[in-house]
Chain A
Amino acid sequence: MTFNSKLTLAIRNFFKKYGKILFIVFIVWLIIFLFNTYLKNIQREPIATNTYNPDNPVIEYGGSIPNSEKEPVKNTLDTYLKYCKNKQYENAYNMLTDDCKKYMYENNITNFQEYVDNIFSTYNSYSYNQNYSNVDNKYIYDVTILNSNILATGTTGGYDSYKEKITIVNENGTKKIANQGYIDNEEIGIEAEDDYLRIKIASKDMSYSRVGYNLEITNKTTRTIVVSDKQASKEVTLNVDGEYRTANNLDIENIILEPGETQTIQLIFDKYYDSNRNDLEINFNYIRVLNNYNENMALEEQNAAAIRIYSYNVGLK
């Protein structure tokens, strides 16, 4: 038998034996092919891809805003900004949280009005928002405010821009605003004392990039006590998971307690609200209990006049 007849016979036998399988494979392939062709030819509306995604948080740690909250949060922010732009001071002020009104504006709408007039300097202001971070059901936005609608001016005469963090929180079931980076106040209620000092930490005010501990500190002795007067380094620090941060505002303020005196102070430390790190203790690192004191005393003189120099840590947990 020649090779050609062998080949013909073999092909015939092959199709006799595998014809059905091959037919099924072919039909399956044909269905897939037709389906692909159909999908390829479906008319789709082209859309523009943009790098501006205002709903995607810049800091991903806390996750995105839940879908059910997106619209109410957006509406709250848009309404607040609209009131500010239109100089509807009372409407905008009423949208602020109680903590924000108290901490940022001393419960005085006139202070808020000054802020609005300063930031939203013209009725033509333009603003846009970027979700920045979401922590504990608090939605933090980076809001940029331009002093003009640049599309209307074409940037003729230049333009200024200003950024601040605005947080939307739930207060008694209503969406409220905390502006200028402020977030909220949290009660603490910690008390500590030794033979010389009594320290009460009542609360803390949290902003996006810092935390302010509200303290009441009492001198229990009949002598002057210097807690901080800028003469030593790191006189008061905050222990954040083992990292010691110096109080920012003690560069300009002293804590010097006369005999029996009680002072109410706020100690401000750098700390990002969404850093997910714990405040462990406040450290008073160089307390000087002095026999005599005058404000011109150098550190060496204070050391010589001290009946006790010590450090004291107040735990925050």
Chain B
Amino acid sequence: MDKKLKIVLIAMAILGLIALNLIVFLNAHEPQTADNNNETNIINTIVEHNIATEEETEADRKEMLSNSTEATRMKTYIGQYISAIDSKDYETAYNMLYQEFRNTYFKTLEEFITYVENKYPDEIMITYNNMEREGTIYIISISIQNPLDSNFQAVEQNIVIQEKDLNNFTLSFNVE
């Protein structure tokens, strides 16, 4: 056989195998959906309420959270809590509260609703100021503002969160 042809055919076979492997490799490395924000972004970052869409399954949400940093996960949880309040779904927000905290400060849902309606603006925007960790508990300092009302006096609050598992958390805040 012509030597040149032999080389062409072997090269084609090798290139074919490389192309197949490349396809497999690219499929295996589809872009991640996780938010890999650096923790330094915690400070003074305006939160975009990262609410899961209706289609998003619990498994997808867990997968996304498992690829996130602790800071991002805590922001996501706070986003869920604030979103519930923002959309007047007070019962969901109330159920996120730590049991002992609820028993002490908000014995009933009505008490919680009264507090929230008096304390928080109609439109909520939050800014992260600081994050600390005490063992498995996180303390996140936030400012709550009304993006549509510059006269609204920002509410400074500590949100205390414990993550029991991915997308399974409980929280409390300083009541003042």
Contact = CB atoms under 8 A, between A and B. Distances in A.
B105 A150 contact: no
Contacts of B5: 6-7, 10, 14
Given A14-B1, A48-B165, A154 B70 contact: no
Interface stretch (B42-50, B82-90, B131-139): B131-139
B54 interface: no
Contact of B104 (A13, A51, A128, A152): A152
Given A151-B160, A151-B162, A48 B176 contact: no
Contacts of A11: 9
Interface string A1-31: 0000011001101100100001001000100
B166 to A, nearest CB: 5
B166 A128 contact: no
B120 interface: no
A48 B66 contact: yes
Given A10-B2, A149-B100, A151-B98, A156 B65 contact: no
A146 interface: yes
B158 A155 contact: yes
Contact of A154 (B1, B135, B175): B175
Contact of A52 (B1, B100, B136, B139): B136
A46 B62 contact: yes
A48 B73 contact: yes
Interface residues of A, number: 37
B26 interface: no
B66 to A, nearest CB: 3
Query: Of B20, B100, B135, B159, which is in contact with the most chain A CB atoms at under 10 Å from its CB?
Result: B135
A221 B158 CA distance: 68
B160 A48 contact: no
A11 B8 CA distance: 10
A7 B162 CA distance: 70
B160 A154 contact: yes
Contacts of B166: 46-48
A187 to B, nearest CB: 38
Nearest to A124: B100
Interface string B1-18: 110011001000100010
A128 B135 contact: yes
Interface in B138-176: 139, 158-160, 162-163, 165-166, 170, 172-176
A161 B134 contact: yes
Contact of B139 (A22, A29, A51, A150): A150
A33 interface: yes
B135 A151 contact: no
Contact of B172 (A17, A29, A54, A154): A154
A294 interface: no
Contacts of A128: 134-136
B66 A151 contact: no
Contacts of B70: 48-51
A123 to B, nearest CB: 12
Contacts of A36: 24, 28
Contacts of B104: 152-153
A154 B101 contact: yes
A144 interface: yes
Given A150-B137, A151-B162, A156 B66 contact: no
A40 interface: yes
B1 A13 contact: yes
B1 A155 contact: no
Contact of B134 (A17, A46, A150): A150
A37 B27 CA distance: 10
Nearest to B163: A48
A22 B13 contact: yes
Given A14-B6, A154-B175, A52 B135 contact: yes
For the complex of A and B, 3 pairs with smallest distance between CB atoms:
A128-B135, A46-B66, A154-B172
Interface of A: 6-7, 10-11, 13-14, 17, 22, 25, 29, 33, 36-37, 40, 46-52, 54, 126-128, 144, 146, 149-157, 161
